[in-house]
Amino acid sequence: MAEQANPFESLQEQIDDASEYVDADADVLERLKRPERVLETNLSVEMDDGSVEVFKAFRSQFNGDRGPYKGGIRYHPGVNRDEVKALSGWMVYKCAVVGIPYGGGKGGIVIDPDDYSENELERITRSFAKELRPFIGVDRDVPAPDVNTGQREMNWIKDTYETLENTTAPGVITGKAIESGGSAGRVEATGRSTVITAREAFDYLGEEIDGASVAVQGYGNAGWIAAKLVDELGANVVAVSDSSGAIYRGDGFDPRDVKDHKNETGSVSGYHGADEELSNEELLTLDVDLLVPAALENAIDGDLATDVDADVIVEAANGPLTPEADDVLAESDTYVFPDILANAGGVTVSYFEWVQNRQRFYWSEERVNEELEGIITTAFDDLTDAYEENDLPNFRTAAYVVAIERVLDSYEESGNWP
Ligand code: NAD
């Protein structure tokens, strides 16, 4: 995976590209390109052996014009200030493009969680929650899971916050386990919106998803659920990968069986049903009908994009294509449906969770999936309408045009203060 592109610069370039098609002054657009504030903190945490280790952590609050800051918390050795800033910005535009009332935030700890025990991870998480406490809140900033964090970490953060605030506030964080105030359907939501987007995209392009060949990069939460749900639509998942490598089967895998293998062995590699093992790069350049990058940002750079052979890319990961890759693909036969729409299911069901937490009234999974379907298909139509009406170069620009206009409308209605 190419690591060179700075995701914050990629975000700014994406906004610049879309700004050409938005009727607003340059100075107003400038404030949409950088975060309002970034918390940088050093967590000193006692390890199991009694030593103390220091971890760098961040929380970026990018823009709050449309509602509380909203966005995940990532645990990864590659977390850095610019990455967190970029991810928080993508959240602003993601929430706007699907029309949910949030701004954008993101956080992370520079850590490889595999190197720590569960007790150490709990102390690290609670330490971060203590630092976050003055910045977050049900109506202020609402974190959620991201790479290497899940229900367990969200439950710890909620509990730390509630204990320090001496209150109950399940809506302070989303992605919780059901018994801690989580929503039905949240775990599957990102993969589900990815597949709804793919289904709508194929329909829009006059293609059949039934029988389509699919490659999925990354077999974590987003990737595996996308593989499972696209398989349920009749597509053939012919290749999947994780950080251990990629596997290929011409007749298509049973995604559940691959998941069982990954659960047992820790990776997709070595799966008995594969015809062959591929490199991660080979997976990304397969001749498939649909490619779903569901790992990390910058998976496809300008060089690799020249070898991409997929007809349609639907981005489950955040920022998997660099702007150079976008430029290359815009000139090719590959259609790209952007992350800020495709993976917005996660934040949309987080929004449903927050609504349910506020009302103390919980919905069935059926209702959650139905509401999600409505939000993603409406957003898809808004995006393709903008694409056609403004004769835009690609669907990413269309998504940003829709989103930027919504953020600007709310900013202009509120006025600039002080
Ligand atoms: P995860 O940690 O569950 O899974 C990530 C997967 O990517 C793992 O299988 C890992 O092995 C794999 N991976 C890492 N590097 C790789 C590489 N070089 N090649 C192939 N595979 C590689 O994380 P997730 O929650 O599924 O998130 C994946 C992406 O989706 C991220 O970009 C995240 O920001 C985005 N996303 C997730 C959610 C959500 O609700 N989980 C919501 C929106 C966006």
pLDDT at 14: 86
pLDDT at 418: 86
Ligand 1 binding pocket includes 218 (Cβ within 6 Å): yes
pLDDT at 4: 61
- pLDDT above 90 (res 117): yes
Distances (CA, A) of 397 to 7, 13, 168, 326: 17, 11, 41, 10
Query: Which residues neighbour 280 within 8 Å (Cβ) at sequence distance 6 or greater?
Result: 1, 217, 241, 245, 246
A 10 A CB-CB count for 310 gives 25
Q: How much distance in Å is there from the Cα of 26 to the middle of ligand 1?
A: 35
Ligand 1 binding pocket includes 318 (Cβ within 6 Å): yes
Query: pLDDT for 352-390, tens place per residue?
Result: 999 999 999 999 999 999 999 999 999 999 999 999 999
pLDDT at 2: 43
Report, as residue numbers or ranges, the catalytic residues.
106
**Selected residue with higher pLDDT from 44 and 26:** 44
Q: How much distance in Å is there from the Cα of 81 to the middle of ligand 1?
A: 19
Strand 104-110, strand 52-63: pairing = antiparallel
pLDDT at 1: 42
- Spatial distance between the Cα atoms of 339 and 342, rounded to a whole number of angstroms: 5
CB 133 within 8 A of CB 158: no
| Site of tokens 């709310």 | 410
Ligand 1 binding pocket includes 147 (Cβ within 6 Å): yes
Q: Give the closest residue (by CA) to ligand 1 atom 29.
A: 317
A 10 A CB-CB count for 388 gives 10
Q: How much distance in Å is there from the Cα of 364 to the middle of ligand 1?
A: 27
A 10 A CB-CB count for 280 gives 17
Q: Which two tokens stand for residue 181?
A: 């105030």
* Mean pLDDT score, 315-324: 94
Query: pLDDT for 125-184, tens place per residue?
Result: 999 999 999 999 999 999 999 999 999 999 999 999 999 999 999 999 999 999 999 999
Query: pLDDT for 193-241, tens place per residue?
Result: 999 999 999 999 999 999 999 999 999 999 999 999 999 999 999 999 9
Looking at the CA of residue 1, tell me the nearest atom of ligand 1.
18
- The full DSSP string for 366-417 is HHHHHHHHHHHHHHHHHHHHHHHHTT-SSHHHHHHHHHHHHHHHHHHHH---
- Spatial distance between the Cα atoms of 190 and 342, rounded to a whole number of angstroms: 8
- Spatial distance between the Cα atoms of 46 and 248, rounded to a whole number of angstroms: 44
Calculate the CA dihedral of residues 97, 300, 20, 347 and round it to 10 degrees. Answer: 10
CB 284 within 8 A of CB 305: no
Pocket test for ligand 1, best of 84, 111, 186, 243 (most atoms within 8 A of CB): 243
Ligand 1 binding pocket includes 220 (Cβ within 6 Å): yes
* Mean pLDDT score, 297-324: 96
**Selected residue with higher pLDDT from 349 and 416:** 349
- Spatial distance between the Cα atoms of 178 and 151, rounded to a whole number of angstroms: 9
Ligand 1 binding pocket includes 221 (Cβ within 6 Å): yes
Distances (CA, A) of 328 to 18, 112, 208, 299: 17, 33, 25, 14
pLDDT at 209: 98
